[in-house]
């Protein structure tokens, strides 16, 4: 029988608006805010609230408000940091480094630069999915200008040693960008004592709407524009700001900064609870091989199962999980992250990313595990 309510375990793709954010948006809808670049009173009022949002984010990240640029999301923030930095430093060198398991918004930026005369080193990950700092150090040449590594992998939840990687980059005088989309809210992120030069965040992973993101860009770092028009966002990112989005994102960031410990405890408990139930399922492999994972994301794969059939049956039961990165949904290509980990194509295709949010309960996890067990068991039985 079909469930009437959805079991939603796809929070790493996008999570519900936080109650504080809903309140803030509803105030905003009533406030008559206008274009923050307009110089009349309404415009100035909008500019002031956007600046408040910027200052609030900067205080939490431990940086200056002029170092916070609003963007349309993390894709744009990653694109801008990578393309803008490479272009600005082109006369210093043409070699840039990243890792094979980055998000497509990073990998595709590197591919675009490759077509534009840059030489790219795509570091492979070890059997745990991690980047080896020594390999990174060894890959840097006198021609290297930029490296980009994500803090937490969006498909597996693996935490990379980005602070160590950023220190290596800093010692060799190369710029370091970090996609921290899946890290914020799980790892304390402070820019003042960090060697990270730029960092991307996304609204809809944090309980703000989609269509808003932040690029932290360390003061004084050269960057070329990738959009042309007005002088908004420190003259780096042209276009009328998403005022409502900025206010909503600042609210979400404040919430997560204030609930880091309590949420970590909750996610740790849920993570232990789900892993305990999943690991006894037939044919399962839990894709946690490395040292540290954010507890909200769990990737698992099923041996000798048709991944599409599994996903369709879960969907028919109103169970929302991801079969790889949501950003590449629609494509049935096996996940580049899982294949980089050494999974063969079939196993990678028969994988689920289960991701929890602040609303997830033990009860929901229990329902999910029960349904998944039934589906997997029946697929194996039918295949006999």
Ligand X SMILES: Cc1ncc(COP(=O)(O)O)c(C=O)c1O
Residue selected from 56, 121, 144, 202 as contacting ligand X according to rule CB under 6 A = 202
Q: Is 103 in the site for ligand X (CB under 6 A)?
A: yes
Q: What are the two backbone dihedrals, phi and then psi, of residue 32, each rounded to the nearest 5 degrees?
A: 65, 30
Q: Which is nearer to ligand X, 181 or 369 (CB)?
A: 181
Residue selected from 73, 84, 157, 207 as contacting ligand X according to rule CB under 6 A = 73
Q: Is 182 in the site for ligand X (CB under 6 A)?
A: yes
Tokens coding 248 = 């909503």
What separation in angstroms does the CA of 376 have from each of 176, 279, 379? 43, 13, 5
Least distance CB 32 / ligand X (angstroms): 28
HSE-CB at 120 with a 13 A cutoff on CA atoms is: 22
10 Å CB burial of residue 88 (0-12, 13-18, 19+) is: middle
Examine the residue annotation and report whether 327 is marked as an active-site residue of this protein. yes
Q: Is 187 in the site for ligand X (CB under 6 A)?
A: no
Q: Which residues of 43-76 are buried (b: 16+ CB within 10 A; e: fewer)?
A: eebbbebbeebbebbbebbebbeebbbbbbbbbb
Residue in the block written with tokens 């028919």: 316
Least distance CB 193 / ligand X (angstroms): 24
Q: Is 74 in the site for ligand X (CB under 6 A)?
A: yes
Between 243-258 and 41-61, two packed helices, what is the crossing angle to 10 degrees? 30
Site size with ligand X, rule: CB under 6 A:
14
Angle, CA of 60, 76 and 142, to the nearest 5°: 90
Q: Is 79 in the site for ligand X (CB under 6 A)?
A: no
Of 38-46, 60-68, 71-79, 351-359, the segment contacting ligand X by CB under 6 A is 71-79
Q: Which is nearer to ligand X, 37 or 328 (CB)?
A: 328
Least distance CB 199 / ligand X (angstroms): 11
User: Exactly one of 63, 99, 327, 369 is catalytic; which is it?
Assistant: 327
8 A C-beta contact, residue 70 and residue 214: yes
Of 39-47, 69-77, 308-316, 352-360, the segment contacting ligand X by CB under 6 A is 69-77
Residue selected from 94, 100, 309, 327 as contacting ligand X according to rule CB under 6 A = 327
Residues 6+ apart with CB under 8 A from 55: 65
| Spacing of C-alpha 294 from chain mean position | 12
Q: Is 154 in the site for ligand X (CB under 6 A)?
A: yes
Q: Which is nearer to ligand X, 154 or 296 (CB)?
A: 154
**Spatial separation of the C-alpha atoms in residues 232 and 242, rounded to whole Å:** 11
Least distance CB 74 / ligand X (angstroms): 3
Which residue has the CB atom at the shortest distance from ligand X? Answer: 73
Hey, which residues are catalytic here? Answer: 327
Contact residues for ligand X, defined by CB under 6 A = 73-75, 103, 105, 150, 154, 179, 181-182, 202, 213, 326-327
């Amino acid at each position: 029988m079909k469930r009437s309510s959805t079991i939603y375990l796809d929070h790493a793709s996008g999570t519900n608006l936080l109650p504080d954010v809903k309140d803030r948006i509803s105030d905003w809808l009533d406030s008559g805010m206008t274009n923050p670049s307009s110089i009349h009173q309404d415009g100035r009022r909008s500019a002031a609230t956007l600046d408040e949002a910027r200052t609030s984010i900067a205080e939490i990240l431990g940086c200056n408000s002029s170092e916070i640029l609003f963007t349309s999301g993390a894709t744009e923030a990653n694109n801008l940091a990578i393309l803008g930095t490479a272009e600005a430093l082109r006369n210093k060198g043409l070699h840039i480094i990243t890792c094979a398991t980055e998000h497509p918004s990073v990998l595709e930026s590197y591919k675009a630069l490759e077509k534009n005369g840059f030489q790219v080193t795509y570091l492979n990950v070890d059997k745990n999915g991690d980047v080896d700092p020594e390999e990174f150090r060894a890959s840097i040449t006198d021609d290297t200008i930029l490296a980009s590594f994500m803090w937490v992998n969006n498909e597996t939840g693996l935490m990379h040693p980005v602070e160590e990687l950023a220190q290596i980059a800093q010692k060799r005088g190369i710029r370091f960008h970090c996609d921290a989309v899946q890290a914020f809210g799980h790892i304390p992120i402070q820019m003042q004592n960090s060697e990270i030069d730029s960092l991307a965040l996304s609204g809809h992973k944090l309980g703000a709407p989609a269509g808003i993101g932040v690029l932290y860009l360390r003061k004084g770092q050269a960057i070329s524009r990738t959009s042309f028009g007005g002088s908004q966002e420190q003259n780096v990112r042209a276009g009328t700001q998403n005022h409502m989005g900025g206010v909503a994102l600042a609210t979400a960031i404040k919430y997560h900064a204030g609930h880091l410990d309590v949420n970590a405890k909750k996610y740790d408990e849920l993570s232990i609870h789900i892993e305990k139930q999943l690991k006894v399922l037939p044919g399962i492999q839990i894709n946690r091989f490395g040292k540290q994972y954010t507890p909200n994301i769990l990737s698992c794969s099923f041996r000798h199962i048709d991944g599409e059939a599994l996903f369709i049956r879960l969907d028919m039961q109103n169970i929302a999980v991801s079969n790889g990165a949501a950003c590449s949904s629609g494509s049935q290509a096996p996940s580049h992250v899982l294949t980089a980990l050494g999974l063969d194509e079939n196993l990678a295709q028969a994988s689920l990313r289960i991701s929890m949010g602040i609303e997830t309960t033990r009860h929901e996890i229990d329902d999910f595990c029960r349904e998944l067990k039934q589906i997997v068991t029946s697929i194996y039985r039918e295949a006999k």
